Amino acid sequence: MPSPKERGVSLYQRNKEETVFEDFKIIKLIGRGTFGKVYLVKHEKTQQLHAMKSIRKDIVLEHDSLESLKVEKLILL
């Protein structure tokens, strides 16, 4: 399986047009976990609904779970 760089996709951005946090409106909290929260958000330009995960870096580092967080990110690509 080719890496994201080989596919021409950044780990941090899939689209050529840059998307920023301010482009989304938080609708409601849909879940809580050890490292953060998951929100239902709406993209203001496209009106599409998405789930957005907010992660507390201090907690991830405290639990020494950076590697598992990186794996989760790769799975979600």
CB atoms within 10 A of CB 4: 14
**pTM for this model (two decimals):** 0.67
Segments in 1-77 forming alpha helices (H):
57-62, 66-76
Domains of the chain are 21-76 (3.30.200.20)
Whole-number Å distance between alpha carbons of 9 and 45:
22
Q: How many residues does the chain have?
A: 77
SS3 28: strand
- Model confidence at 6, pLDDT cuts 50, 70, 90, reads low
Choice between 61 and 39, residue whose per-residue pLDDT is larger? 39
Instruction: Record the tokens describing residue 55, joined without a space.
Output: 């992660």
